[in-house]
Amino acid sequence: MQQTDPTNPCADASPNRLVCGDCLDELRKLPGASCALIYLDPPFNTNLRRVGRATSQRVAYSDSFGKPGDYVVYLRPRVLELRRVLTTHGSLFFHCDWRMSPHVRLLLDDVFCVDAVEGEGVFVNEIIWHYGLGAARAGRRLLTKHDVVFWYANSTHYSFHLMRDEPTQAMLGKYRHVDGQGNRYMNSYGRRYLLKGGKPLDDVWDIPSIAPTSSERTGYPTQKPLALLRRIVQLASDEGDLVLDPFCGSGTTLVAAQQLGRRWIGIDVNPQAVKVAARRLANKTGDA
């Protein structure tokens, strides 16, 4: 699918579009300050060819960029464009792993906080996504079971919706009364305290990776779980906002945005990815 209105797709009330192309070229076509939330999950520079199978077809993309410096040279112009298209209240989430995370962090600090042309951006959080599943062969080092997601914003006025964990059994025991509306509360020194939920979300997220038999699995390599993307979209954007994923792969971000009432733009250089994402977006459940 190609863009239909190259003039200003973002002003459109429903600009949802999936574009096949190098994100550098495609980002240059987008107007400045148009996207409220950007999530990117580019290849991690693992020096592997990523291969999968989607609807009985082999799907693959290359994940080799050379030395860390070469990877940063590849990323820098794309990150600069991403900062340009981010709104004043916007946030950018960059997903990587232990291999490139130190280099990515320095690049993002540079683009958002040091070389910032239009005002100072801010580093918000380093999120650790801890996933449970996957091969667990013991070796002479610890199993690596986490990725890193860096959160940066264009200013301190970024959209933020506090999220909470489920209340623990201990909290439920403490707030043991229930009022007429079904709210839990406790009484202390003559005052009533409502239970607002569990503890505020911290920066270590335990979300299982997609099980081999899950209906969510498309077969596209390195597909991320919908639960992870739904959390990011809910945390840092508002209904109606425009969400951009410039390395969209199987379209997980776009499905999350669609489910949560946000508008979206997805870009991928691999026609196979665009095909998988389009099929998924056509299915209301976001399943493969």
Ligand X SMILES: C[S@@+](CC[C@H](N)C(=O)[O-])C[C@H]1O[C@@H](n2cnc3c(N)ncnc32)[C@H](O)[C@@H]1O
User: Which spans of this chain sit near ligand X (rule: CB under 6 A)?
Assistant: 22-23, 41-43, 61, 220, 222-224, 246-247, 249-250, 252, 267-270, 273
Task: Give whichever of 184 and 280 is closer to ligand X, judged by the CB atom.
Answer: 280
Task: Give whichever of 155 and 270 is closer to ligand X, judged by the CB atom.
Answer: 270
* Minimum distance from residue 174 beta carbon to ligand X (Å): 39
Residue that the structure tokens 């839990």 belong to = 184
* Minimum distance from residue 83 beta carbon to ligand X (Å): 17
Task: Give whichever of 78 and 105 is closer to ligand X, judged by the CB atom.
Answer: 78
Task: Give whichever of 20 and 242 is closer to ligand X, judged by the CB atom.
Answer: 20
* Minimum distance from residue 119 beta carbon to ligand X (Å): 27
Alpha-carbon distance of 100 to 73, in angstroms, equals: 13
* Minimum distance from residue 117 beta carbon to ligand X (Å): 23
* Minimum distance from residue 247 beta carbon to ligand X (Å): 3
Alpha-carbon distance of 93 to 148, in angstroms, equals: 10
Phi/psi region, residue 219 (left: phi>0; alpha: psi -120 to 50; beta: rest), is left
**Residue showing the smallest CB distance to ligand X in the complex:** 249
Please say whether the dihedral angle defined by the alpha carbons of residues 216, 263, 76 and 235, taken in this order, is positive or negative. negative
Task: Give whichever of 60 and 201 is closer to ligand X, judged by the CB atom.
Answer: 60
Give the DSSP letter string of 166-235.
PPPHHHHHHS-EE-TTS-EEEEETTEEEE---SSBP-SEEE-PPPPTT-TT----TTPPPHHHHHHHHHH
